[in-house]
Amino acid sequence: MDWLDSVKWDNDGLVPAIAQEFGSGDVLMFAWMNREALAQTAASGRAVYWSRSRQQLWHKGEESGHVQQVHEMRLDCDNDVVLLRVTQLGHQPGIACHTGRHSCFFQRLEGGQWRSVEPVLKDPAAIYR
Amino acid sequence: MDWLDSVKWDNDGLVPAIAQEFGSGDVLMFAWMNREALAQTAASGRAVYWSRSRQQLWHKGEESGHVQQVHEMRLDCDNDVVLLRVTQLGHQPGIACHTGRHSCFFQRLEGGQWRSVEPVLKDPAAIYR
């Protein structure tokens, strides 16, 4: 059986994908993949997602240069979530978030409010020209 | 504005949630939360999810004793994914997966196949009695 057939795709043909930084263990981002995105990710060793808003393949870093090199791909116990262990290329330290931050998870719940607690490493205006 | 109102709930009133081990950085599991689950998680400091299969609140560890103590809650840039940083209680090392493994992400893609690469720490038959 094809390894892609082992994945339980949802009703939209998608599977959630978590990108984790290989060295630090930091959770960088969360996105979705369809079958083609997952196949291309495995074949190329670069993360490819499915953009639900644009309804097209999203080669991570295609505009920003912030490509994700994929070291390892994992599947969970229910076969319906993918975990990528990646190196975030294009900037040091890596920038996974479109806001110019290291990780998309930069808002922390503090005293009943979400507060931004991580620095912007690069101005998004300079990333997306 | 209530911090719960800042979350972008999907059409089913849910938000994806990632549980990451606080000490190791390991990604333990992925689940879903509704508003009540997220509110109870924040109030109790213990992870509460929404079981889509059972259509009810799922107090993680209610049967297994493998409760997740929540140290920190984060929200992503689009306000539509939650990250919990947790200590996995009830066993040493922690068991987050219903298969008796540390993490749900125990299948690794190797040579075009998903292979189980993490040990079962406790027999599920002994966990769920």
Contact B81 A30 (CB under 8 A): yes
Q: Kindly report the nearest CA distance between residue B127 and chain A, in angstroms.
A: 16
State mean pLDDT over B72-100: 97
Contact A97 B78 (CB under 8 A): no
Chain A interface with B: residues with Cβ < 8 Å = 3, 6, 16, 18, 20, 24-27, 29-30, 42, 72-79, 81, 83, 97-99, 101, 104-109, 112-114
Structure tokens at A102: 């290291």
Contact A74 B106 (CB under 8 A): yes
Q: How confident is the model at residue B129 (pLDDT cuts 50, 70, 90)?
A: confident
Write the DSSP string, B40-104. Answer: HHHHHSB-EEEETTTTEEEETTTTT---EEEEEEEE-TTS--EEEEEEE-SSSS---STTS-S-S
Work out the mean pLDDT of chain A and round it to a whole number.
97
B5, B15, B20, B77: best to mutate for the A interface, most A CBs within 10 A: B77
User: What value, to the nearest 5°, has the Cα angle with vertex A15 and ends A10 and A17?
Assistant: 160
Q: Name the 3-class secondary structure at B36.
A: helix
Instruction: Tell me the per-residue pLDDT of B46-63, one tens digit each, with 9 for 90 and over.
Output: 999 999 999 999 999 999
Q: How confident is the model at residue A8 (pLDDT cuts 50, 70, 90)?
A: very high
C-alpha to C-alpha distance for B41 and B49, rounded to whole angstroms: 8
Tell me the backbone φ, ψ of residue B57, rounded to 5 degrees.
-60, 145
Contact B83 A16 (CB under 8 A): no
The residues with which B30 forms a beta bridge, in sequence order, are B18
C-alpha to C-alpha distance for A105 and B1, rounded to whole angstroms: 20
Q: What is the pLDDT of residue B123?
A: 95
Instruction: Tell me the per-residue pLDDT of A110-128, one tens digit each, with 9 for 90 and over.
Output: 999 999 999 999 999 999 8
Measured between beta carbons, the chain A residues lying within 8 angstroms of B104 are: 76-78, 81
In the block, residue with structure tokens 């294009």: A90
